[in-house]
Chain A
Amino acid sequence: MFEFPDSLYCDVRIEEVFQTRIAFGFGDVQEMLERRYEAAFVRVFDGKRWYYSATSSVDAVQEHIDRLASLTTPSQAVSEHPVVQKLEAHRETLRQFSGPQSVSSKTIKEKYDLLSHYFPIIDSYDHIRLWTARYVDELRNKRFISSKGADCSFDYQKIGLLFSYEMSAKGNQIKDSFSYGAHVYRDMEAQDRKFANTLNRSADFLKRAKSVESGRYPVILSPQAAGVFAHESFGHLSESDTYQGDQTLKDRWVIGKQVAHKNLSIVDDGGVLGMGYTPFDDEGTKARKTYLIRDGVMAGRLHNASTAVDFGENLTGNARAISFEYEPIVRMTNTYIEPGKTPLCSLIGEVDNGFLIDTIKSGFGSTNFTVSPIIAYRIRRGTIAEPVKISLLTGNSFGTLFKIDGISDRASLGENPFVTCSKRDQLRLPIDFGGPYVRISEIDVVG
């Protein structure tokens, strides 16, 4: 298909994308967008430096390969380079969203009808001052071809609805949302009851939420909040390019070290059909289940080929780019905490004075992590009590992992197509996270 130059490693990623976006607000249709494009990203490696180029014309890929090659210092030894040796060369096709399964087979009118089905429900609530609605879908076909002989293809599809709203009454207000997603259209059936429950929960929060005193409390995180916590507190620290070449951190983060309470296991797996589904990463590596923490012990890290060689570890399938314009860097896929053995009621029943974090609006992680809740409840003498306003949960990522003292027996992935992750200049990468309910014995709560 392409003529790869001698004495260089080269790969090409071709992306064929179909996207729909519908927006509704203030009683009007604000967007009805369908977009299709095909584009490519080219990488060339001479053993010393990577050279990248993006093009919106697949016909021009050969030109880009040749131009990048002209910038390099070719070396016959490149095929023996450990990074090139490490790269996998699969020849496989995984397609599951073609034909009637494809979102491109539905009309934009059908998609608008799905969205507008909910309008009467949200319009029936008194305290809503403002609401907007969005429908998104995306079908992405990727093909990866390399000078090592790789030629693998797969498709990825997501569909989602999002209602954002502001409720206000008597000087109080809340900004909240309802969203859900799926991978095929037939799984997007109406969820009227769930939507109504979410709106009722927001209305209850608006009426009854109390302020809290800042301090250190026991906190139970919902699966959504626990997923964010796992992603922010340890997931980002597991992205090995974060400390590639940093001997201080390499010495600290040794596989086999106890890094968390013994009941905690965190996994990343791009092979699971979540929103972070990545059966082959953007270096052609096949997805696998990677334990980041297993029974409290650091069990692995996430890699691309370069970091895997640098750390002397195996590939994990985590080299991902947000689009054809960017090179793959080490990113999470579907990251989750494995379930424990404790029923949720026992987790709650053992808390005398603490909080349950139900929904969150954002999270951030590095050496420290922060989570901004939307809906939270006080737990008083083992019972869920009134809703509370908490602006921030925060702590040191390493210290907090040791304070997890209870994990519920059921876990779920978020499956929210609007959840994305940003790193460096690559914003809004689809990822997924989740887990069971997780109790932290004490954490800083800012009221």
Chain B
Amino acid sequence: MIREAYVETVGEICARLRGGAIDSTRSREITRGSVRLYENGKIGIAGALGEFDEEGLTQEAKKRLDMGVVYTASPTADKHEEREYIETDMDAYDFLWEVEEMLGEQNRRFPDCSFVHDIRYISESRHLRNTVGLDLYHKARYFEFYLTLKRKDSENVKDGTLSFRLPSFDKRAALDALRMLCDGLGQKPCAPEGRIPVLFFFNDPLYNKTLWETLNGISYGSGSSLYAGRMGEKVFADGLTLYQSRNRKDQFFNAFFDMEGTTNPEDRCLLIESGVFRMPFTDKMTATRFFLPLTGAAQAEYDSVPSMDYPHLAYQPSEHSLSELLSQSQRENSGRALIALQPTGGDFSSDGHFSLRLQTGLWYDETGCDAPVHNISLTTEIHKMLGDDWIGVPRHPLFHIPGLYGVCFWMTVQGPSPSDGRL
């Protein structure tokens, strides 16, 4: 029998900014832990919230081994690593003082916009160890910015959101990004037609949904992925290199190991390399079941069985600026692309069509934003989006936020809807 123990402690101070002031602060520090037992292709897990007795959990996990939960993969063995990423020694008072400072400057500089922000200061530790030599420990502090803004005269509930993580409280970076957005939203709106270059935040979940569904090891193994059976083939655009990433350079600040203890060199695993489909993402059971490479995409709640979930995906940025990428593209362009600032839903159909409703977009040329676009529907197909219509990942991150890259490809505007009545 192999015994594995997992303990996580996540602390957070969250400041909510609304109406030009700090509206509320929330603090928490919650510890959760579990013991997993592996025996004869079965797993038994017992977990607890708060303080717990590991021996007690072990006895409980033993009972749960009899429940017949199948886990035929081998627990990770003989791996020791400990990492600490702490670039700030702020305490709660320092954090709130910095937030107040940022707030004051924001109120002075952007009088035409209103904001609702959640800014979180997170401290976390995660420890996974077992009786066959696994001992992985992660400790980190970082800041999450979830910024929402609108023009005060806008009839929208919000005109845009921007979210990113930073290892230190860089209010300058946040304010510079807000400046670009506020400048752009203040310009005269335009209504594009036909095919246009669209820039998505690389971590936009609407856009990523298609990658999660098609590069998923279960979809691939069961044959429902649009790219089933094409591992090793060149099926995407030349310039497309995609990782499953747990690397901090890719805006990923959680543990460097997944919930099965799998790690990757440089915390990245190549899924697509220069257009060649290298592998779908997998956890151990999926890799075992479908004879696929293991990528380390296992997630789990503290007390649940590790299983495959959507991993963090990141692109290799190109060596070119947005303007250069657009010039290389075969269509005429104005050197700028439309940032999908406020998508309001969209989906992929089973045959690969992607439709998106964009409430607010902003034309962007890496130096700034101009001309907002409101209420358009955009469509494409996944094969084109990642193939012929792929433009690339500009070398400079969006709004100069480290790691916050944009993904650019051509889409077709379905047109502002005449049914868009306003009150």
Chain A residues engaging chain B, CB cutoff 8 angstroms: 21, 23, 26, 28-33, 35, 37, 39, 49-57, 71, 108, 129-130, 166, 168, 172-175, 214, 216, 236-237, 242-249, 252-253, 257, 259, 325-327, 361-372, 389, 391-392, 394-396, 398-400, 402-403, 424-425, 442-444, 446-447
Contact A444 B417 (CB under 8 A): yes
Contact A53 B28 (CB under 8 A): yes
Chain B residues engaging chain A, CB cutoff 8 angstroms: 14, 18-19, 22-28, 30-32, 45, 47-51, 64, 67-70, 114, 118, 146, 150, 152-158, 218, 222-224, 289, 303-305, 307, 342, 344-351, 353-355, 357, 359, 375, 377, 379, 414, 417, 419-423
Contact B420 A29 (CB under 8 A): no
Chain B residues near A326: list those with CB within 8 A: 26
Q: Closest A-chain residue to B223, C-beta based?
A: A129
Contact A57 B224 (CB under 8 A): no
Question: In the complex, how many angstroms separate the beta carbon of A357 from the nearest chain B beta carbon?
Answer: 13
- A-B contacts, 9 of them at CB < 8 A, read A30-B69, A39-B50, A53-B27, A368-B344, A372-B345, A392-B377, A396-B375, A396-B419, A444-B414
Question: In the complex, how many angstroms separate the beta carbon of B414 from the nearest chain A beta carbon?
Answer: 7
Chain B residues near A394: list those with CB within 8 A: 345, 355, 357, 377, 417
Question: In the complex, how many angstroms separate the beta carbon of A274 from the nearest chain B beta carbon?
Answer: 24
Looking at the complex, which one of A31, A130, A244 makes contact with B69 (CB distance below 8 Å)?
A31
Given known pairs A56-B30, A166-B224, A368-B375, the reply for A398 and B422 (CB within 8 Å) is yes
Contact A399 B224 (CB under 8 A): no
Contact A363 B345 (CB under 8 A): yes
Contact B417 A396 (CB under 8 A): yes
Chain A residues near B349: list those with CB within 8 A: 389, 391
Contact B67 A29 (CB under 8 A): yes
Q: Closest A-chain residue to B213, C-beta based?
A: A175
Contact B303 A259 (CB under 8 A): no
Looking at the complex, which one of A39, A56, A249 makes contact with B157 (CB distance below 8 Å)?
A249
- Given the complex of chains A and B, what is the CA–CA distance between A63 and B70 in angstroms? 43
Contact B421 A216 (CB under 8 A): no
Contact A392 B346 (CB under 8 A): yes
Given known pairs A248-B155, A364-B344, A365-B344, the reply for A54 and B30 (CB within 8 Å) is yes
Given known pairs A168-B224, A446-B377, the reply for A21 and B344 (CB within 8 Å) is no
Question: In the complex, how many angstroms separate the beta carbon of A72 from the nearest chain B beta carbon?
Answer: 10
Contact B357 A392 (CB under 8 A): yes
Contact A425 B146 (CB under 8 A): yes
Contact B223 A168 (CB under 8 A): yes
The listed residue with most A CB atoms (<10 A of its CB), out of B26, B51, B222, B342, is: B26
Contact B224 A130 (CB under 8 A): yes
Contact A392 B355 (CB under 8 A): yes
**Knowing that A32-B68, A246-B152 are A-B contacts, what are 20 other residue pairs whose CB atoms are under 8 Å apart, sorted by A's residue number?**
A21-B304, A30-B307, A32-B69, A33-B45, A168-B223, A173-B224, A174-B350, A249-B155, A325-B28, A367-B156, A367-B157, A368-B344, A391-B347, A392-B355, A395-B419, A399-B419, A424-B146, A444-B377, A444-B417, A446-B414
Chain A residues near B49: list those with CB within 8 A: 37, 39, 56
Q: Closest A-chain residue to B305, C-beta based?
A: A31
Contact B67 A129 (CB under 8 A): no
Among all A-B residue pairs, the 7 with the closest Cβ atoms: A370-B345, A364-B345, A399-B421, A56-B50, A28-B70, A54-B28, A50-B24
- Given the complex of chains A and B, what is the CA–CA distance between A392 and B355 in angstroms? 7
Question: In the complex, how many angstroms separate the beta carbon of A170 from the nearest chain B beta carbon?
Answer: 12
Contact B114 A51 (CB under 8 A): no
Contact B347 A33 (CB under 8 A): no
Looking at the complex, which one of B24, B31, B67, B345 makes contact with A369 (CB distance below 8 Å)?
B345
Looking at the complex, which one of A35, A50, A57, A242 makes contact with B23 (CB distance below 8 Å)?
A50
- Given the complex of chains A and B, what is the CA–CA distance between A391 and B381 in angstroms? 12
The listed residue with most B CB atoms (<10 A of its CB), out of A37, A370, A398, is: A370
Question: In the complex, how many angstroms separate the beta carbon of A44 from the nearest chain B beta carbon?
Answer: 10
- Given the complex of chains A and B, what is the CA–CA distance between A223 and B240 in angstroms? 43
Given known pairs A52-B27, A245-B18, A396-B421, the reply for A130 and B218 (CB within 8 Å) is yes
Chain B residues near A444: list those with CB within 8 A: 377, 414, 417, 419
The listed residue with most A CB atoms (<10 A of its CB), out of B51, B222, B305, B357, is: B357
- Given the complex of chains A and B, what is the CA–CA distance between A287 and B21 in angstroms? 30
Looking at the complex, which one of A368, A424, A447 makes contact with B359 (CB distance below 8 Å)?
A368
- Given the complex of chains A and B, what is the CA–CA distance between A196 and B153 in angstroms? 53
Contact B414 A214 (CB under 8 A): yes
Looking at the complex, which one of B27, B50, B118, B155 makes contact with A424 (CB distance below 8 Å)?
B118
Contact A396 B420 (CB under 8 A): yes
Chain B residues near A216: list those with CB within 8 A: 419
Question: In the complex, how many angstroms separate the beta carbon of B353 from the nearest chain A beta carbon?
Answer: 5
Chain B residues near A249: list those with CB within 8 A: 155, 157
- Given the complex of chains A and B, what is the CA–CA distance between A425 and B122 in angstroms? 14
Question: In the complex, how many angstroms separate the beta carbon of A229 from the nearest chain B beta carbon?
Answer: 12
Contact A395 B69 (CB under 8 A): no
- Given the complex of chains A and B, what is the CA–CA distance between A446 and B27 in angstroms? 44
Question: In the complex, how many angstroms separate the beta carbon of A150 from the nearest chain B beta carbon?
Answer: 20
Question: In the complex, how many angstroms separate the beta carbon of A436 from the nearest chain B beta carbon?
Answer: 22
- Given the complex of chains A and B, what is the CA–CA distance between A245 and B19 in angstroms? 6
Q: Closest A-chain residue to B48, C-beta based?
A: A37
The listed residue with most B CB atoms (<10 A of its CB), out of A245, A249, A394, is: A394
Contact A52 B25 (CB under 8 A): yes
Question: In the complex, how many angstroms separate the beta carbon of B326 from the nearest chain A beta carbon?
Answer: 26
Looking at the complex, which one of B18, B355, B414 makes contact with A244 (CB distance below 8 Å)?
B18
Given known pairs A108-B67, A391-B353, the reply for A26 and B289 (CB within 8 Å) is yes
Q: Closest B-chain residue to A166, C-beta based?
A: B224
